[in-house]
Structure 1
Amino acid sequence: MGLSGEELKQELETTAQEVLGRLKSHQLFQSQWDTAAFVVFLTFVGTVLLLLLLVIAHCCCSCCCASSRPRKVRPGKEKPRGVDNLALEP
């Protein structure tokens, strides 16, 4: 099933010539659907990279900012711990 060295070399040369021919003719895509698919793919990759950048920025900022500044705690405002069960009262 594997290609021999000569066949592989010929296949790579053919592919390289095809790509170079498309670059010279300024027609990288065969149809408008190819162009649209490429735009959608780039939009997806850009969104993923933006989200990754936001996660990294959030992690870095929360680590740096949280250690240098104590959290503000309002006096007299404690969160209730649990619920009073009035059925146990006499």
Structure 2
Amino acid sequence: MGDLEATANDLLGRLKSKQLFQSSWDTAAFVIFFTFIGMVLLLLLLVLIHCCCCCCCHSPRYSRAKQKNRQGVDNLAMEP
């Protein structure tokens, strides 16, 4: 409980002095952390856009392109 109280007092002291970052390492860690969070959110947004636009719009052009890129040979011996 003492460590938590000391950490809270340290944070409150920094907020009162308006100096959150004591070193350049603190600033760099803050920038790296929020860049990572921003990239994750951007990728999630792109996935949602892709799912909403491609799954809902079944255009004939999209299905034709899918059939055109088909590879391999049909095995007629496997048919009943």
Counterpart-to-counterpart distance in 2, 1:14 and 1:30? 17
Larger radius of gyration: 1
2:36 maps to: 44
- Cα distance change, pair 71–26 in 1 and its aligned pair in 2 (3 A): same
Q: Residue 71 in 1 paired to residue 61 in 2?
A: yes
Computed over aligned residues only, the root mean square deviation of the Cα atoms, in angstroms, reads: 2.7
Task: State the structure with bigger RCO (CA 8 A, min sep 6), 1 or 2.
Answer: 2
Percentage of matched positions with identical amino acids: 65
- Cα distance change, pair 12–70 in 1 and its aligned pair in 2 (3 A): same
TM-score by length of 2: 0.68
TM-score by length of 1: 0.62
Counterpart-to-counterpart distance in 1, 2:3 and 2:69? 70
Q: What is the count of residue pairs matched by the alignment? A: 70
| Alpha-carbon shift at residue 79 of structure 1 (Å) | 7.1
Structure 1: which 5+ runs fail to align? 1-7, 84-90
Runs of 4+ in 1 over 6 A off after TM superposition: 78-81
- Cα distance change, pair 63–80 in 1 and its aligned pair in 2 (3 A): closer
Structure number with the higher helix fraction is 2
| Alpha-carbon shift at residue 12 of structure 1 (Å) | 2.3
